[in-house]
Amino acid sequence: QQQVKQSPQSLIVQKGGISIINCAYENTAFDYFPWYQQFPGKGPALLIAIRPDVSEKKEGRFTISFNKSAKQFSLHIMDSQPGDSATYFCAASRRGFKTIFGAGTRLFVKA
């Protein structure tokens, strides 16, 4: 199976709060799990990515948690800011094969 299921579809968080977006995959052959951030009218841009040999990766306020046995991974945005308001896509891929994207989560951070 090639699907990547992403939830929630939309998310509203207060400024300073934690935003959590979840993704689940089915194909155990995937070996690269990026998150992309997209602002309205712009192309997505890589935010942070992880490979399955580690369970967590942190870059600034952004953390990916990876659970290989459950085939799930999540994005945590700490101290969420209004500037983080965007659509976030998780994805899964392996070299030589097309990337599979989740359906996206629209995040709105209230000031």
Partner 1 sequence: DGGITQSPKYLFRKEGQNVTLSCEQNLNHDAMYWYRQDPGQGLRLIYYSQIVNDFQKGDIAEGYSVSREKKESFPLTVTSAQKNPTAFYLCASSRPGTMVPKRDTDTQYFGPGTRLTVL
Interface with partner 1 (CB under 8 A): 6, 32, 34, 36, 41-46, 49, 51, 89, 93-96, 98-99, 101-104, 106
Nearer Cβ to partner 1 (12/45): 45
Paired sense of beta strands 10-14 and 105-110, if any: parallel
Angstrom distance (rounded) from CA 18 to CA 28? 29
Closest separation in Å from C-beta 43 to partner 1: 3
Nearer Cβ to partner 1 (43/83): 43
Nearer Cβ to partner 1 (17/32): 32
Paired sense of beta strands 72-77 and 19-25, if any: antiparallel
Distance between first and last Cα of the chain? 40
Closest separation in Å from C-beta 38 to partner 1: 8
Structure tokens at 59: 């870059």
Closest separation in Å from C-beta 87 to partner 1: 9
Closest separation in Å from C-beta 24 to partner 1: 15
CB-based contacts of 107: which residues, under 8 Å, 6+ apart?
Answer: 10, 11, 12, 13, 19, 21, 77, 80, 84, 85, 86, 87, 88
Nearer Cβ to partner 1 (92/109): 92
